[in-house]
């Protein structure tokens, strides 16, 4: 993102509220700025505000992240936005320079030390001290191990006292446990715990099974963590995903397996809760046949990366995250749309479930699998939501209660269709349908 100059609109979208946007516009006059410059993805400048000393403002375009010495509690503050605007206007008042100003460089280094994942800012800073790095890693593992021990005790207590009572626990019970997992730097596990009450309510008759399966998966993570030293790399990578120990983007770019292909964009899923938006872009390589998923995240209310267009074929290289198939991927550089497809490499239900079995065997933590089903009829009435194979001896899979089932029906008209869906082990979440010469999103 650092290479392209932003538009004014893009900048203003970052404003926390209307008054910030207005103030920023007024401040984006070069007269109030001194020492404004840019280098790579970094912008900096000094803005004369109401204080005696000008505020020191630094922006890293990659996140984007902001720092300003002003006392405002808004984030980003009007000075950060104004600097971005000044730069976006591109009239040369933010000069290209070889080295960042001292206060900007200093901030970048501190940022890199605090959060190793913060993209280019970290990479462009001086290489981190290996000794300090090892120390931080040891600290993290210690924190996580302590969290794992506590999580195990929590699981045991639940199972000892019986999950029948867990059903009636308030949200706060689960949120509390999740908060402790976040403190122990395992946000992935925390998310799953936080999702349990929803799972209990959504699953009607089999809530106890679903709950036990979820708790057991948590315990599997506990056991695997204790054996992390002997786990194969792929399994450990899968474990890290469950725990929420994220990979740095540069680590994936540096060391991940690279695959170049013409990737068909076959499914787009978007989710949003009160904290986070996430987006999954499912890709199928037309040459290699490999399936990969690109994940994007953004804070609630912020703008997500623009997804690829469903049905487009994108020629690009991706770097794959470590772990089992199907793997998370990252576009490494330029990508160009080279065509479009209205086809899904659709399989039968049996073949799709066989594939799932293979994936589960490799990664028992996984709970979301891509499926392309060919020639299935969606059947939706008052008491059932199914996709049905129309052939002798055909099979049936249930669909999740959520989702745009009416659009699915509209696209099928009761006739067989090819569809792409995510399978969570219990039900299908249809994402797209091949119809009328295009892939159509649901």
Partner 1 sequence: MTALPTRPPATPGDSTWEGLVAAALVGTARRPPPRSSLLADLDNDTGGTTNWRSSPPDERGEERQLSEGAFGDPAAALLAEAAVLSAYRRAGRLPAPAPRTLPAPAEPDERPPCSTTAVEVLELILSGEVPIPGGVTLLAGQWLDGAARVGCRVPARLLPRLLDLGSTSPALQAALRTVVGPRGRWLARHHNRWGWAAGEPFDDLEAAEQRFATAAKGERPAILEAVRRVDVTRGRDLLTSTWKSDPAAERAALLPVLAVGLSDDDEPFLEAALDDRAAGVRQVTVDLLGRLPASRRAARMAERLQALVRRGDAQGEMLSLAPPGEPDAAARRDGISDAAPAGMGVSAWRLAQLVAGAPLSFWTERLGLSPAETVAVAATVAPSRKTGPRPGRPAGPLLLGLASAVVAQAGRVDPDWAVAVFAHRPSPPVLASLPHDLAAEQLTRLLGAGVAPGPAVAGLFAACPGPWPRFLGDAVLDRYRRLGTKAVLELQAALPVLAARLDPSALPLVETWVLALAEDQGLRRRVQTLGHALSLRAVIHREFFS
Decide if residue 390 touches partner 1 (CB under 8 A). Answer: yes
Give the integer Cα–Cα distance in Å for 177 and 285: 40
Which of 113, 208, 347, 351 touches partner 1 by CB under 8 A? 208
- What residues from 119 to 158 belong to the interface with partner 1 (CB under 8 A)? 155-157
**CA 298 distance to own-chain centroid:** 8
Give the integer Cα–Cα distance in Å for 269 and 113: 34
Decide if residue 362 touches partner 1 (CB under 8 A). Answer: yes
Which of 88, 215, 242, 283 touches partner 1 by CB under 8 A? 215
Task: DSSP letter for 274, please.
Answer: S
**Cβ neighbours for 307, distance < 8 A, ≥ 6 positions apart:** 268, 279, 281, 296
Decide if residue 203 touches partner 1 (CB under 8 A). Answer: no
Which of 195, 199, 202, 212 touches partner 1 by CB under 8 A? 212
Binding mask 399-438 for partner 1 (x = CB under 8 A): -----x-xx-xxx-xxx---------x---------xx--
Give the integer Cα–Cα distance in Å for 263 and 288: 9
Query: CB 144 → partner 1: shortest distance, Å?
Result: 19
- Work out the burial of residue 145: count CB atoms within 10 Å of its CB; fewer than 13 is exposed, 13-18 middle, 19 or more buried: middle
Which of 179, 182, 195, 386 touches partner 1 by CB under 8 A? 386
Could you tell me how many residues make up the chain? 442
Decide if residue 193 touches partner 1 (CB under 8 A). Answer: no
Which of 105, 112, 377, 431 touches partner 1 by CB under 8 A? 377
283, 263 in Cβ contact below 8 A? Answer: yes
Which of 353, 400, 403, 429 touches partner 1 by CB under 8 A? 353
Give Dmax over CA atoms of the chain in angstroms.
Answer: 82
Q: How many residues bind partner 1 (CB under 8 A)?
A: 63
Decide if residue 347 touches partner 1 (CB under 8 A). Answer: no
Decide if residue 34 touches partner 1 (CB under 8 A). Answer: no
Decide if residue 235 touches partner 1 (CB under 8 A). Answer: yes
Q: Which is nearer to partner 1, 206 or 287 (CB)?
A: 206
Residue given tokens 């395992």 in the structure block:
186
Decide if residue 342 touches partner 1 (CB under 8 A). Answer: no
Give the integer Cα–Cα distance in Å for 99 and 108: 12
The DSSP result for 8-58, as a single string, is HHHHHTT-SSHHHHHHHHHH-SGGGEEEEEEETTEEEEEE--SSSSPEEEE
> In this structure, what are the phi and psi dihedrals at residue 373, rounded to the nearest 5 degrees?
-110, 130
CB under 8 A: which stretch of 23-31, 58-66, 249-257, 391-399 binds partner 1? 391-399
In 95-242, the DSSP E strands lie at 95-96
Which of 7, 161, 288, 303 touches partner 1 by CB under 8 A? 161
Q: In whole angstroms, how far apart are CA 274 and each of 175, 193, 271?
A: 14, 16, 10
Decide if residue 199 touches partner 1 (CB under 8 A). Answer: no
Q: Which residues bind partner 1 (CB under 8 A)?
A: 155-157, 159-164, 205-206, 208-209, 211-213, 215-217, 219-220, 223, 227, 230-232, 235, 349-350, 353, 356-357, 360-362, 364, 377, 379-381, 384, 386, 388-390, 393-397, 404, 406-407, 409-411, 413-415, 425, 435-436, 440
């Amino acid at each position: 993102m650092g290479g392209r100059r932003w538009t004014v609109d893009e900048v203003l979208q970052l404003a926390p509220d209307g008054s910030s946007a207005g103030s920023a516009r007024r401040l984006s006059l070069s007269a109030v700025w001194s020492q404004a410059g840019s280098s790579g993805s970094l912008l900096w400048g000094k803005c004369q505000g109401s204080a005696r000393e000008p505020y020191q403002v630094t922006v890293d375009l990659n996140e984007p992240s902001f720092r300003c010495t002003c006392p405002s509690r808004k984030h980003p503050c009007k000075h950060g936005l104004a600097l971005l605007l000044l730069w976006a206007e591109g009239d040369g008042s933010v000069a290209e320079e070889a080295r960042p100003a001292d206060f900007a460089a200093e901030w970048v280094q501190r940022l890199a030390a605090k959060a190793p994942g913060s993209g280019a800012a970290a990479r462009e800073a001086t290489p981190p001290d290996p000794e300090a790095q090892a120390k931080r890693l040891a600290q993290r593992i210690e924190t996580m191990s302590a969290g794992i021990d506590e999580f195990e005790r929590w699981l045991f207590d639940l199972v000892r006292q019986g999950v029948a009572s867990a059903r009636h626990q308030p949200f706060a019970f689960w949120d509390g446990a999740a908060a402790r997992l976040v403190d122990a730097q395992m946000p992935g596990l925390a998310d799953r715990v936080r999702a349990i009450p929803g799972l209990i309510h959504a699953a009607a008759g089999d809530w106890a099974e679903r709950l036990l399966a979820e708790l057991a998966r948590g315990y599997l993570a506990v056991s695997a963590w204790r054996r992390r030293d002997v786990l194969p790399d792929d399994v450990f990578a899968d474990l890290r995903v469950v725990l929420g120990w994220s990979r740095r983007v540069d680590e994936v770019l540096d060391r991940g397996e690279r695959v170049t292909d013409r990737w068909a964009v076959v499914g787009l899923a978007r989710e949003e809760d009160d904290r986070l938006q996430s987006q999954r872009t499912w890709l199928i390589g037309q040459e290699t046949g490999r399936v990969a998923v690109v994940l994007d995240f953004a804070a609630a209310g912020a703008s997500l990366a623009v997804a690829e267009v469903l049905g487009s074929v994108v020629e690009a290289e991706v770097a794959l995250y470590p772990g089992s198939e199907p793997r998370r991927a990252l576009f490494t550089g330029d990508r160009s749309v080279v065509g479009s497809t209205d086809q899904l490499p659709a399989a039968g239900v049996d073949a799709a479930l066989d594939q799932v079995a293979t994936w589960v065997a490799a990664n028992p933590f996984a709970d979301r699998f891509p499926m392309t089903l060919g020639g299935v009829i969606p059947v939706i009435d008052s008491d059932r939501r199914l996709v049905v194979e129309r052939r002798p001896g055909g099979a049936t899979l249930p669909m999740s209660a959520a989702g745009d089932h009416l659009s699915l029906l509209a696209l099928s008209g009761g006739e067989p269709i090819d569809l792409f869906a995510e399978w969570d082990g219990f039900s299908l979440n249809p994402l797209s349908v091949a119809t009328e010469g295009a892939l159509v999103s649901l």
